[in-house]
Amino acid sequence: MARENKSLTVKEYVDLTNVSRPTAFRDLNKFVELGLLESKYMGSFKEYSIIVY
C-alpha cells in the first residue's frame, strides 16, 4: 500500500492492482508521461510519487 508520503513502488502497485510487473512498469511510466506521477530512483528500485498541483 502507498506510504503516507503519497508514493509507491512497482511492487506496491502490483499488489494493489493484481497486474504483472511488466504491466505495472508500463502503467506507471505512462502516468509519468501524462504528468500524473514523478519517478525517482531510491537505491536499486524506482519510487513513484503523486504530483500535487
Place of cell 502516468: 31
Q: What is the number of domains present in the chain?
A: 1
Domain that holds residue 26: 7-50
Nearest 5°: CA angle at 47, between 45 and 50? 170
Phi and psi dihedrals of 21, rounded to 5? -60, -45
Neighbour count for residue 36 (Cβ, 10 Å): 12
Assigned domain for 41 exists: yes
Does the structure show a pLDDT above 70 at 4?
no
Assigned domain for 15 exists: yes
pLDDT digits (tens, 9 = 90+) for 12-29: 999 999 999 999 999 999
Q: Is the torsion defined by CA of 46, 21, 29, 35 positive or negative?
A: negative
Assigned domain for 1 exists: no
Predicted pLDDT of residue 5: 60
pLDDT band at 3 (very low <50, low <70, confident <90, very high): very low
Q: Measured in Å, how far apart are the chain's first and last C-alpha atoms?
A: 22
Assigned domain for 2 exists: no
What's the pTM? 0.78
Assigned domain for 35 exists: yes
Does the structure show a pLDDT above 50 at 51?
yes
Assigned domain for 33 exists: yes
